Amino acid sequence: MDIAAYLQSHKDITLSEAQRAAVTHPGGLLLLAVPGAGKTTVVAARIAHLLLNKGISASALRTLTFSREGARDMERRFNGLFGELVPKSPAFSTIHAFCYRLLRRQAGRAGLPELLTDGGQAEIFRGLFREASGRFGDDDFIDSLARCYGLILNRLERPEARHNTEFGIPGLNELCLGYERYKAEHGLMDFDDMLTGALQLLRSRPQLTEALKKATPYLLLDEAQDTTALQHAIIEEIAQPERLFMVGDEDQSIYGFRGTSTRLMLNLPERYPGIAVLKTEESFRLTPQVCAAAERLIGLSANRFDKQLYTARPDGPPVEYLPLKEGEDQGEVVARRLQALSPGERAAVLYRNNPSAFGVADALSRAGIDFYIREQKIRLKRLGIVADLLSFFALSYNPGDLNAFSRVYYKMGAYISRQMLDFALGNTPAGGSVFDTLCDAPTEGMSTARVVYAGRQIARLRGLPSPRALEVMLDDLGYLDFLTQRAGGGLRLEQDAQLLDALRSIALRYPKVEDFLDRIDQLDDLLAQHADHRNAPVTLSTIHSTKGMEFDHVLVVDFLDGVLPSAQAIGEAAEGNHAPLEEEVRLGYVAVTRAIRSLCLICPTAIGERTLTPSRFIPVLMGKPVVHPEAAHPLVGRQVEHRFFGIGEITAVNEPGRSFTAHFGKLGSKLLHLSVLDNTRIIKMLEP
């Protein structure tokens, strides 16, 4: 059967020559598919070719992909195109689902350990952290712990073989090993255990591995660039190279935090000698304007296959760069743009980090624009910083709120110990002040003056305008000191800064403290409601969550240096490690290639008194000369004294990224925001 002719006559789909070659290739194949290249159609057509032309049974085919949504989409696409021609569809599943079924079959009557949910995993890590440190782990910190553990395993590494300092989490190795002991003792497994257990089983049971190869000799792997080293090792065990079909695009590899790497994709031809490499380089989605911008951006990446993105679509509008005027609200600008949508059009507001969604969601709700938010778990009050700030406000209204005090007692620069906390919990009378109680604590070396000062600053909060109250918490109470010490520089500090910017924006719109607190509650309710509005014309999403999707109009917000690309990636590139910055390039590439008709890049200029800098990717996307201001800067070589890190020397400055790198002896290099130099309580420049 001529699959291409059938698609043309029955489905009005015309396959290009490159697509036809991929469908009918007789051996093992790695297909490199650019954004909008119709890869799902090609995979479906390849399966139909094997079933209808090569006499392969559906049970001899297995299609694996990265996500459940991707597997369901592939199955829907195949059945929609060829379901009427085949009596039985082949299996479509995620790699995790395949591994789980394999383990369950082998376990037999004995059964598998109980599967942990994300919430169950978080509670185990939280308990281990509390036991080790005596502190409560915020949701975002516990999520970081779990992600780091998964990353280590997906790199095919072991926690005990790692350096504790790599992820900036003290005691990470011990926490990970404690987590593994807890699972073993309580008969539990998590999603990563599905993969590690399956790989162990396959490597220890060669007869089982051979039986799998014979039973399903034809293996199709979709989204190969999203597959980790651990997952690739599983594929390698069950694949017959001459019958393996892989589809991917290393230019869209953006999940390094999960253990993916372009190196894994680039090495596939070496891992499977004799496998052919074909390219589908024509995009059927992008306009020439977006295509040219995306091609310029991805050209900044050095580690990639040689391919050229092009399109035959008619011209569209120019790519738009929109720097906001001073005082102009980003959310309101987005809302005005989206109000002009025609019926039936779909738009997406994309951002690097979740805090960007809060101001946009606020503006869309006030404008009456329906939207769908893809990150269903995103809530302001679930974020550790927001929960801390709400606790400070709670203490302002009720200085005897022991729950609020227990959360923030060590975060306010008053040097309150766990012993002092216990005294306060046991001795604060109903209706009394925890700060008054602490002044009577029989604790040697306690600074009563610091406790009194902290109590007075907290009491002020409810009477101040919201923006000023936030600054009192951050500066006068020392909460910013705590965040800086906790983060130790790098990505965590950068993400904290963006969340604080989002809170400042909300505070500026709602200057009365009561209104500010009410709006946080309302936004959480709003986000929860709109997580179900899947058919809304507007989608709010991180860039990571929209890979594989497309929209008529795309607006990328907070397209700023220090956000996209991240300050951490900029700093590491300045020190010679360009891999993180290349992933930022790929992330930007994924963002702009979601657009079918129009693309708008939006850059705020300031939040309050803080000046913001447009992304260094914008000149590239707009086709303008690129200026690299990372040249020598007067600060380089200057010595600084940091409150927590001691004496150090500034080794690199990135002014557009609002960051600098300083080396602090045995503590190594730390990436810090330039704005910290304005706070002499944290860091001081030493005389040359």
The 10s digit of each residue's pLDDT in 354-407 is: 888 988 998 999 999 999 998 877 888 888 889 999 999 999 999 999 999 988
Looking at residue 609, its pLDDT comes to 63
Residue pLDDT, tens place only, 413-435: 888 888 888 888 888 888 888 88
Q: Is residue 168 over pLDDT 60?
A: yes
Name the pTM for this structure: 0.85
Smallest Cα–Cα separation from 287: which of 596, 601, 620, 621? 596
For residues 296 and 340, which has the higher predicted lDDT (pLDDT)? 296
Give the sign of the dihedral formed by CA 415, CA 419, CA 422, CA 428. negative
Task: Write out the DSSP string of 404-466.
Answer: HHHHHTTSSSS---HHHHHHHHHHPPTT--HHHHHHT---TT--HHHHHHHHHHHHHGGGS-H
Looking at residue 630, its pLDDT comes to 37
3-state secondary structure of 649: strand
Smallest Cα–Cα separation from 149: which of 130, 138, 162? 162
What is the share, in percent, of the chain residues with pLDDT greater than 70?
91
Looking at residue 428, its pLDDT comes to 87
- The conformational region for residue 470 under phi > 0 = left, psi -120 to 50 = alpha, else beta, is alpha
Edge-first strand order for the sheet with 683-685 is 669-673, 659-663, 646-654, 639-642, 683-685
For residues 602 and 377, which has the higher predicted lDDT (pLDDT)? 602
What is the share, in percent, of the chain residues with pLDDT greater than 90?
49
Average pLDDT (194-219) is 93
Average pLDDT (240-255) is 94
Structure tokens at 320: 């738009």
Return d(Cα 335, Cα 342) in angstroms, integer.
14
Beta-sheet strands, E only, within 80-214: 91-94, 114-115, 188-189
Average pLDDT (153-163) is 74
Average pLDDT (99-123) is 85
Q: How confident is the model at residue 637 (pLDDT cuts 50, 70, 90)?
A: confident
Average pLDDT (632-645) is 72
Q: How confident is the model at residue 681 (pLDDT cuts 50, 70, 90)?
A: low
Looking at residue 222, its pLDDT comes to 93
Q: Is residue 162 over pLDDT 60?
A: no
Q: Is residue 657 over pLDDT 90?
A: no
Within 8 A by CB and 6+ apart from 393, the residues are 461, 462, 469, 513, 517
CB count in 10 Å sphere of residue 647: 12
For residues 439 and 593, which has the higher predicted lDDT (pLDDT)? 593
Q: How confident is the model at residue 117 (pLDDT cuts 50, 70, 90)?
A: confident
CB count in 10 Å sphere of residue 146: 18
CA-to-CA dists, residue 287 to 283, 552, 559, 596, angstroms: 9, 11, 21, 7
Chain mean pLDDT for the chain: 87
Q: Is residue 127 over pLDDT 70?
A: yes
Q: Is residue 688 over pLDDT 80?
A: no
Helix (H) or strand (E) holding 539: strand 538-542
Return d(Cα 8, Cα 27) in angstroms, integer.
25
14 close to 191: Cβ distance less than 8 angstroms: no
Q: Is residue 215 over pLDDT 50?
A: yes
Q: How confident is the model at residue 53 (pLDDT cuts 50, 70, 90)?
A: very high
3-state secondary structure of 345: coil
Looking at residue 566, its pLDDT comes to 86
Average pLDDT (121-149) is 84
Looking at residue 165, its pLDDT comes to 52
Average pLDDT (33-38) is 94
Looking at residue 675, its pLDDT comes to 62
Looking at residue 632, its pLDDT comes to 33
**What is the pairing mode between strands 244-248 and 29-33?**
parallel
Return d(Cα 686, Cα 637) in angstroms, integer.
11
Q: Is residue 208 over pLDDT 70?
A: yes
Q: Is residue 586 over pLDDT 70?
A: yes
Helix (H) or strand (E) holding 653: strand 646-654
Q: Is residue 96 over pLDDT 90?
A: yes
Within 8 A by CB and 6+ apart from 189, the residues are 112, 113, 114, 115, 116, 183, 197
Q: Is residue 491 over pLDDT 70?
A: no
Q: Is residue 631 over pLDDT 60?
A: no
Looking at residue 478, its pLDDT comes to 87
Average pLDDT (252-267) is 90
CB count in 10 Å sphere of residue 565: 26
Q: Is residue 474 over pLDDT 60?
A: yes
Identify the residue whose tokens are 């269903």. Answer: 376
594 close to 542: Cβ distance less than 8 angstroms: no
Looking at residue 629, its pLDDT comes to 38
Q: Which of 143-157, 496-510, 516-530, 668-682 has the lowest mean pLDDT?
A: 668-682
Looking at residue 628, its pLDDT comes to 39
Q: Which of 219-223, 520-524, 555-559, 624-628 has the lowest mean pLDDT?
A: 624-628
Looking at residue 449, its pLDDT comes to 84
Q: Is residue 164 over pLDDT 60?
A: no
Structure tokens at 475: 């500066």
Q: Is residue 560 over pLDDT 50?
A: yes
For residues 675 and 209, which has the higher predicted lDDT (pLDDT)? 209
